[in-house]
Structure 1
Amino acid sequence: MKKALAIILTMVFLLLSGCGKLQPGGRNSSGSNEDANDSREKITEEGNDRAKEETRESGSESDFSSNPSPAPSETIDIYEIKPNEAGRVMIVMFHRFVESFTPSASDDGQFVITFKDFENLLETLYNKGYRLISLRDFLDNNIKVAPGFIPIIFTFDDGSSGQFNLIEENGELKVNPNSAVGIMEKFYKEHPDFGLAGTFYVNLGTNTFLGKGTLAERLNYLIDMGFEIGNHTLTHIDLYEAGEEKIIAEVGGNQKKMSELVAGYSLDTLALPFGNNARTELQNFVYGGEYEDVEYHNRTVLRVGWNPTYSPVNKDFNPLSLNRVRAPGFFPVDFDLNWWLDNLSREEQYISDGNPDKITVPAALEDSLDKSRLDGKELILY
């Protein structure tokens, strides 16, 4: 009992910390205090026990390091691959990237990862069978991952130069190889089946991706590479402490600035600064509105969170309250990405059948599905 209570208290603490600031009270995206209930949530579905035992017996929990991702196929052996497209997906939350780091009284490194550790993390994820997808494809339930592999999503908050910056070489702008994007680009060239995707949540009223090139050039460079840009408010405010006008100016103002920099680009997803949504009666102004004749709309809202989120076809999937998993920091903590890699079983996760037009799920999990979200896709139960 004491151990269970300790785990619950740890999970609540993790939700309260986000973007380097600990928030008293820890508000969730619905405006009510559901943290205690969320922390008791069981990741493993009751009906999955049988599938777990079968997976252990077949040895399918082993790494994929010697088994490169195959091309998507129309025909698969379901009982060998054991797809579960109702399983959980990890949306990883990154913040600062640095060459080296020394903890201090003001920064203990919870949200800091070194470039070398990030390189090692990509290798680990690849060998464990994870493959990058975009947040947009996840929200659209258009998940294109080869059979037997696991989708994973990268998100980056605050627009720091360690995440991405440009350098000038022979009169041309290029990605700094000593940045998260530079490292991902290099890894993608070596492992093209891993994918190259991610969403950057920026505050366009502050210094964003400092380096060479104009801000417009930096944003366009990322977009041209296939990355997505999301809303993180104009100046990284605490939405819970803001009134209606301030919320509109910060969320809508960030979209207005983006429209000036990249014509026609919609910041249609938002990551909550500090993990705090606005008060319940003001949340509609976070999700959409108009600021100085510029409309804005957020189709999804990302929390700081502490656990993998639901599949888009799960009854409990809520795009306005998506949990994320914290990237490894300077020191290990419970419920960060490395913790989940050690504690989240394969059968609990989204395992692809390789066909984005089909949704394949163990029959024991049928009751967890919202079939109205299939959107014309063929449901396969086994």
Structure 2
Amino acid sequence: MKLPKQIYLIALATSFLTACNNGKQPANASDSTSSNSSVASKEITSTDNTVKPNTAFKDFTPNELGKVMVLEYHLIGEPEDRWRRTPENFRKDLQMLYDNNFYPVSVLDLAYGKLDIPAGKTPFALTFDDSSAGQFRFIEKNGKLEVDPSCAVGIMEDFKKKHSDFPLTASFYVLPAIKPNLRLFAQPEYKKEKLEWLINNGYEIGNHGWYHVPLNKLDDAGVQKHLGMFVKEIKEFIPNYEVKSLALPLGMRAKNLALEAKGKFEDASYNHEVVLLVGSATSVSPYHKNFNRLGIERVQAGDTDYGPAHFMKLQDKNKTRYYSDGDPKTITAPDNYKDQINTQFSKSYKINWIKADSSSTK
């Protein structure tokens, strides 16, 4: 059963809002570097979402109006919990995606439908919120700085080396002014180096607010201050970098939605081409008439009945999963989706309709 979104947001707000506003460690949100944390960790409830690899997959029906996933991660560390994924389980997530014909794309490419991926593959995007140490950590080895192989970036880099046909990338929605254990990956001496390393290695830096205040609690001036101050502080480290996407703090929307995309505070302006919501739900295809790049749904990672394996199984059962036709200049889908396509794409793409399987559902 999918977790009701209202309940999800209340749970998220309860855990993280206190931490952001009061500077206290939220229950069940300690990073793996804090081995002596006094906060008790609740055991995560999981469901059996074991997935059999499908590496020899050939029999598919192209459906580029099917559903896609933007995966949402928070803490990477020990132990497994509601907002934390262990390094081992993160590796398992990547392997599950690889084995079952998913293909990594950037948030921006997904948002604009710029999908040049092999036939039979399903695009997905990776996102990380809150910039905790377990996401990106440097360690010193033989007098040199290296990426910790147990942090999320280290795991992705290792996976790419072993799977050259799986060009992993991710968007990191960081916090420049939050408490130290979430501030720009929690190694203050390496703030600039980490941000530069990410953008130089094909990752994205995104806006997550100045210090994680939900936008619905702010007036118009406050929204622009918090989003503008983010840009101002990030540019102190990477002055020429243009932040193009926003992940809403706690998933809460501004009263004036237009200010999520564009605004200005003092001399700092922002222009977000993409706005991400909080999970947990799959997104329609970027070619679908209901797709909105300023309100993209995400799926929270985890072995739960609202996690990626669950949604994949559901889509495969109902035949609603996005499958590429392998041609970036065409959009191919079953003909029962004809009323679902965003007609603006017919101007720049060739549209191919194929006879629908009577057992498929939208």
Regarding TM over 0.5, the answer is: yes
Q: Which runs of 5 or more structure 1 residues have no equivalent in the other structure? A: 1-6, 24-60, 70-79, 102-108
Distance 1:154 1:175, change over 3 A: same
The answer as to whether partners of 1:19 and 1:111 remain within 8 angstroms in 2 is no
Q: CA separation in 2, counterparts of 1:100 and 1:205? A: 26
Which gives a bigger RCO, structure 1 or 2 (Cα 8 Å, sep 6+)?
Answer: 1
Aligned equivalent of 2:15: 21
User: Which residue is 1:30 aligned to?
Assistant: none
Decide whether aligned partners of structure 1 residues 89 and 17 sit closer, same or farther in structure 2, where only a CA change above 3 A counts: farther
What is the 5 A alignment of 1:93-108?
A: 93-101=72-80
Query: Which residue does 1:132 correspond to in 2?
Result: 104
Which residue of structure 2 lines up, in the alignment, with residue 35 of structure 1?
none
Task: Indicate whether 1:377 and 2:356 are aligned.
Answer: no
Partner of 2:54: 64
The 3 A distance-change label for structure 1 pair 321 and 231 is same
Query: Partner amino acid for 2:162?
Result: E
Deviation of 1:22 (Å): 7.8
| Displacement after TM superposition at 1:377 (Å) | 1.8
Give the match for residue 318 of structure 1: 292
Counterpart of 2:307, as a letter, is D
Q: Is 1:245 matched up with 2:245?
A: no
Counterpart secondary structure, 1:290: strand
What is the number of residues matched between the two proteins?
316
Cα 1:374–1:260, aligned 2, differ >3 Å: closer, same or farther?
Answer: farther
Note if 1:173 corresponds to 2:145.
yes
Look up the equivalent residue of 2:64 and give its one-letter code.
E
Query: Residue 19 of structure 1: CA displacement?
Result: 6.7
Runs (4 or more) in structure 1 with deviation over 6 Å come to none
For 2:313, the equivalent position in structure 1 comes to 342
Q: Provide the identity percentage.
A: 31
Does 2:296 match 1:306?
no
1:197 and 2:169 correspond? yes
Displacement of 1:204 in angstroms is 1.2
How big is the shift at 1:213? 4.9
**Is the alpha carbon distance of 1:9 and 1:304 closer, same or farther for their aligned partners in structure 2, counting shifts above 3 Å?**
closer
Q: Deviations over 1:76-110 (max 9, x none)?
A: xxxx5311111111001100010335xxxxxxx21
Which residue of structure 2 aligns with residue 47 of structure 1?
none
- State the distance in 1 between where 2:115 and 2:94 align: 20
The equivalent of 1:36 in structure 2 is none
Alignment correspondent of 1:58 = none
The question of whether the paired residues in 2 share the 8 Å contact of 1:236 and 1:273 is answered with: yes
Q: Does the 8 A contact of 1:97 with 1:163 survive in 2?
A: yes
Q: Is the 8 A contact 1:94 1:155 kept in 2?
A: yes
1:208 maps to: 184
Query: What residue in structure 1 maps to residue 195 of structure 2?
Result: 219
Output the amino acid matched with 2:241. Y
**Residue-by-residue CA offset, 1:315-351 (whole Å, 9 max, x unaligned):** 10011111100110xxx54312232133222631110
Q: What is the letter of the counterpart of residue 291 of structure 1?
A: F
Deviation at 1:197, TM superposition (A): 0.7
How big is the shift at 1:126? Answer: 1.0
Find the residue that maps to 1:21 and give its secondary structure. Answer: helix
* Residues 20 and 191 of structure 1, relative CA distance in 2, 3 Å threshold: farther
Change (3 A) 1:336 1:22: farther
- What value does the CA root-mean-square deviation take over the aligned residues? 2.3
Aligned partner of 1:83 in structure 2 is 62
Structure 1 residues 375, 156: CA separation in 2 closer, same or farther (over 3 Å shift)?
Answer: farther
Tell me the distance in 1 between the aligned counterparts of 2:14 and 2:86.
16
313-322 or 291-300, larger mean C-alpha shift: 291-300
Alignment partners' CA distance in 1, 2:77 and 2:207 = 23
| 1:256-283 per-position Cα deviation (integer Å, ceiling 9, x unaligned) | 112221122121111111110112xx33
Q: Is structure 2 residue 268 aligned with structure 1 residue 291?
A: no
Contact 2:312–2:321 under 8 Å retained in 1? no
8 Å contact kept, 1:270–1:301: yes
Q: Is the 8 A contact 2:3 2:306 kept in 1?
A: no
CA shift for structure 1 position 168: 2.9
TM-score normalised over the length of structure 1: 0.77
Match of 1:72 in 2: none
Q: Distance in 2 between matches of 1:8 and 1:184?
A: 28
Cα deviation code 1:158-190 (max 9, x no counterpart)? 001101122233444321111011111111111
Distance 1:334 1:13 in 2: 15
Aligned with 2:94: secondary structure? helix
Deviations 1:336-369 (A, max 9, x none): 2232133222631110111212111112211100
- Choose from 115, 127, 144 the match for 1:155: 127
Distance 1:150 1:176 in 2: 29
